[in-house]
C-alpha cells in the first residue's frame, strides 16, 4: 500500500514544531512528509521587533530550515503557497503544485489594517525578515538624511508606532535603546527626536495587569516615548498619520516613519482557499482539524480556539502555536497508523513576558508578576526555549540569547 503524504505549509513555530515532532514519531516507511515554505530559512517572529529597530542583526533571528529537519524523512520545497484545492487534495504553489493525503496549514499571521486609508502604502509592519530590514534601514536613512540636509526637516526624526499591544510596546522598548545610538552616530541632538505610541484603547496593553502596564509606561516615558492613548489612527499619508481628536475632529501627526503594529490576521491563503474563517483564522475542532475537513489540520495564527473561561478567542501566540504543533503531530501519527482516538488540544498557559528592550521587561509567569532584569532574563529563556524545542541544544548554542545581565 502506498504510504500517505503529509504536507505541512509554513515553517514557522507551528509548522516546524509539527514537522520536527513528526520526523521523530514516524518511521521512513510510514509516511512521506513534505514541508513547504516561502524562504529556505525559519525566522523567529517573536524577535522581529529587535531586527526592525536594528538592535539585533536580522541574521540572528533566522536559521536554515535544513538545519532542523531530517532530510531522509522530510522533503523541503521552497515556494509560496497560493491556494489549497481541498476537493482535489492539492496545494497550488507559485511554481508548481503538491498533492496530499493529510495537510497542515501553518502559514502564520499577516498585518491587518482594517481598511484604514493609506496604511498599506505609507506605514511599515513588523511581519517578516524583509519588512524588519526595511524598517531598520528606513529609520537609519531618515537620520542620515537629516544630518546631511541643509534645510533641516525635523519631521524626519519623528517615529510613530501605531498600537500599544505587545508588538508595539516591545518595538518601542528596542527603539528607545536604538535612537540614542543613532543620534550619536549622526551627531543629532536627542531632544529633536520624537517617538510616539498611538493607541486607540483607553490604556496601554489593554487587558494586561495595570501595575505592570504602569511600570512599562513610566520606563518608556523616561526613555523619551510619548503616549497618545484613546487616540485611534484614522489614516496615513506620505507626511504622517491622521488621528481622531474627540468625536468629530481629526489631527495630523507628521512623521518620517510610521510603523503599524495595531493588528494581525491569519494568512490570506485561508480565504483564497474558500475555508470559512474570521480574518484568516479558522475556528478549529478540538483535535485541531478544520470543520468538515478530516484531512486538514490548522496550526498557529491561522487557527482560532475559544477560551471557554472568558468566551473569547485565545490570542495568537508562538506559545500556543508550538503546543498545537505537538498535538497535531500526535494526531497525524495516529491517523497514519489507522488509530481513531485523536487527542484534543488544551492550552497550558505558561505566562506572558513583554520585553522593554534588551535589559528590561514585564511579565506574569506561572501567575507571578516579574519586572526588570529578572523579567528580562525570563524573556531570554523563553526565546531560547523555542529554539530548544525545535532544534535542540545545538540550535540554542548557535542562536540562543546569552547576553544575560
For 372, the grid coordinates are 526588570
CA-CA distance, 335 to 343, in Å (whole number)?
A: 11
The reply on whether position 199 binds ligand NAD by CB under 6 A is yes
Strand partners, 83: 92
Q: Which residue has the cell 545610538?
A: 181
The reply on whether position 167 binds ligand NAD by CB under 6 A is yes
State the residues that interact with ligand FAD by CB under 6 A. Answer: 10-15, 36-39, 42, 45-46, 48-49, 80-81, 106-109, 126, 167, 170, 267, 269, 300-301, 316-319, 321
Binders of ligand NAD in range 291-350 (CB under 6 A): 315-317
- For ligand NAD, what does the binding mask look like between residues 4 and 43, x meaning CB under 6 A? ----------------------------------------
Backbone torsions φ then ψ of 105, nearest 5 degrees: -105, 115
Binding site partner of 201, from ligand FAD, ligand NAD, none, Cβ cut-off 5-8 A by kind: ligand NAD
- For ligand NAD, what does the binding mask look like between residues 348 and 367, x meaning CB under 6 A? ----xxx-------------
Q: Which residue has the cell 503531530?
A: 329
Q: Count CA within 13 A, CB hemisphere, residue 291.
A: 10
- Of 54 and 108, nearer to ligand FAD (C-beta) is 108
Pick the catalytic residue: 32, 44, 50, 170?
170
Q: Are 54 and 67 in contact (CB under 8 A)?
A: no
Q: Is 94 a catalytic residue?
A: no
The reply on whether position 262 binds ligand NAD by CB under 6 A is yes
CB of 168 to ligand FAD, least distance (A): 9
The CB-based long-range contact list for 140-144 (8 Å cut-off, 24+ gap) reads 140/54, 140/182, 142/256, 142/257, 143/182, 143/183, 143/185, 143/186, 143/188, 144/186
Cα of 312 vs its chain's centroid, Å: 20
CB of 141 to ligand FAD, least distance (A): 22
CB of 92 to ligand FAD, least distance (A): 11
- Of 256 and 263, nearer to ligand NAD (C-beta) is 263
Please identify the residue of the shown chain whose CB is closest to the bound ligand FAD: 12
Three-state DSSP state, 375 = helix
Q: Are 82 and 269 in contact (CB under 8 A)?
A: yes
The reply on whether position 263 binds ligand NAD by CB under 6 A is yes
Name which of 222, 143, 137, 138 is nearest 188 in CA terms: 143
Catalytic residues: 170
Residues within the interface to ligand NAD (CB under 6 A): 116, 162-168, 170, 198-201, 206, 232-233, 261-264, 315-317, 352-354
Amino acid at each position: 500500500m502506498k504510504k500517505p503524504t503529509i504536507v505541512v505549509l509554513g515553517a514557522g513555530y507551528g509548522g516546524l514544531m509539527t514537522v520536527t515532532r513528526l520526523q521523530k514519531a514516524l518511521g521512513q516507511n510510514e509516511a512521506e512528509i513534505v514541508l513547504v515554505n516561502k524562504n529556505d530559512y525559519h525566522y523567529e517572529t517573536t524577535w522581529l521587533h529587535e531586527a526592525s529597530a536594528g538592535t539585533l542583526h536580522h541574521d540572528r533571528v533566522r536559521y536554515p530550515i535544513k538545519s532542523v529537519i531530517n532530510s531522509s524523512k522530510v522533503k523541503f520545497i521552497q515556494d509560496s503557497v497560493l491556494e489549497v484545492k481541498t476537493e482535489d487534495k492539492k496545494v497550488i504553489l507559485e511554481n508548481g503544485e503538491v498533492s496530499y493525503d493529510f495537510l497542515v496549514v501553518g502559514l502564520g499571521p499577516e498585518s491587518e489594517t482594517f481598511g484604514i486609508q493609506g496604511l498599506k502604502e505609507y506605514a511599515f509592519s513588523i511581519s517578516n525578515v524583509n519588512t524588519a530590514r526595511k524598517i531598520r534601514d528606513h529609520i537609519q536613512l531618515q537620520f542620515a538624511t537629516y544630518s546631511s540636509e541643509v534645510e533641516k526637516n525635523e519631521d524626519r526624526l519623528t517615529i510613530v508606532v501605531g498600537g500599544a499591544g505587545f508588538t508595539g510596546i516591545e518595538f518601542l522598548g528596542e527603539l528607545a535603546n536604538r535612537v540614542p545610538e543613532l543620534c550619536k552616530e549622526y551627531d543629532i541632538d536627542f531632544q529633536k527626536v520624537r517617538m510616539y505610541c498611538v493607541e486607540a484603547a483607553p490604556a496601554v496593553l489593554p487587558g494586561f495587569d495595570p501595575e505592570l502596564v504602569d511600570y512599562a509606561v513610566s520606563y518608556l516615558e523616561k526613555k523619551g516615548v510619548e503616549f497618545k492613548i484613546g487616540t485611534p489612527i484614522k489614516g496615513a499619508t506620505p507626511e504622517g498619520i491622521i488621528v481622531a481628536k474627540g468625536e468629530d475632529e481629526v489631527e495630523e501627526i507628521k512623521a518620517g516613519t510610521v510603523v503599524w503594529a495595531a493588528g494581525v490576521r491569519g494568512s490570506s491563503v485561508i480565504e483564497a482557499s474558500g475555508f470559512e474563517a474570521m480574518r484568516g483564522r479558522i475556528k478549529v475542532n478540538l483535535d485541531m482539524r478544520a470543520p468538515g475537513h478530516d484531512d486538514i489540520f490548522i496550526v498557529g495564527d491561522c487557527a482560532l480556539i475559544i477560551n471557554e473561561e472568558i468566551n473569547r478567542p485565545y490570542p495568537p501566540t508562538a506559545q500556543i502555536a508550538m503546543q498545537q504543533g505537538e498535538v497535531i503531530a500526535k494526531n497525524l501519527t495516529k491517523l497514519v497508523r489507522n488509530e481513531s482516538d485523536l487527542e484534543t488540544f488544551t492550552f497550558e498557559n505558561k505566562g506572558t513576558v513583554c520585553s522593554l528592550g534588551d535589559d528590561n521587561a514585564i511579565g506574569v509567569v506561572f501567575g507571578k508578576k516579574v519586572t526588570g532584569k529578572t523579567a528580562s532574563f525570563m524573556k531570554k529563556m523563553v526565546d531560547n526555549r523555542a529554539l530548544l524545542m525545535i532544534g535542540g541544544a545545538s540550535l540554542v548554542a548557535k542562536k540562543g540569547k546569552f547576553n544575560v545581565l
